[in-house]
Amino acid sequence: MIGVTSRFKTTTRMERLTPAEEQVMLRLWQLQKASVKEIQELYKDPKPAYNTTSTIVRILERKKFIKHRAVGRGYIYAPKVTREKYREYLLKHLITNYYDNSKEGLVSDL
């Protein structure tokens, strides 16, 4: 996890997403705001079960990657973490853990 400290907040930590969580986030970043059903509709067949997608959405909310607002009897979800911030986190994780903090090492492997 990468910690970020500012004058006003103590520490915010970002966690690496599981593959299933990442798939939900990719769809939510694409849509910007969506219900669970709208997220699920972007999957190719065979689509995951509605309950599975809903559970992953709740986990992502608990991890503070997404937020929700009530609309009628349901919820609309939106990303709290941008795709760019998560990509930055992943690159830092990759460089730190697989390239001994060497950006040059990463670039030479491309």
Per-residue pLDDT of 6-65, as tens digits, reads: 444 434 578 899 999 999 999 999 999 999 999 999 999 999 999 999 999 999 999 999
Beta bridge partners of 14: 2
Owning domain of residue 22: 2-80
Q: Which amino acid is at 13?
A: R
| Residue 100 included in any domain | no
Q: The pTM is what?
A: 0.82
| Residue 110 included in any domain | no
Indicate which CATH number applies to the domain containing 74. 1.10.10.10
| Residue 17 included in any domain | yes
Beta carbons of 78 and 61 less than 8 angstroms apart: no
* CA-to-CA dists, residue 91 to 23, 29, 87, 98, 101, angstroms: 18, 18, 6, 10, 11
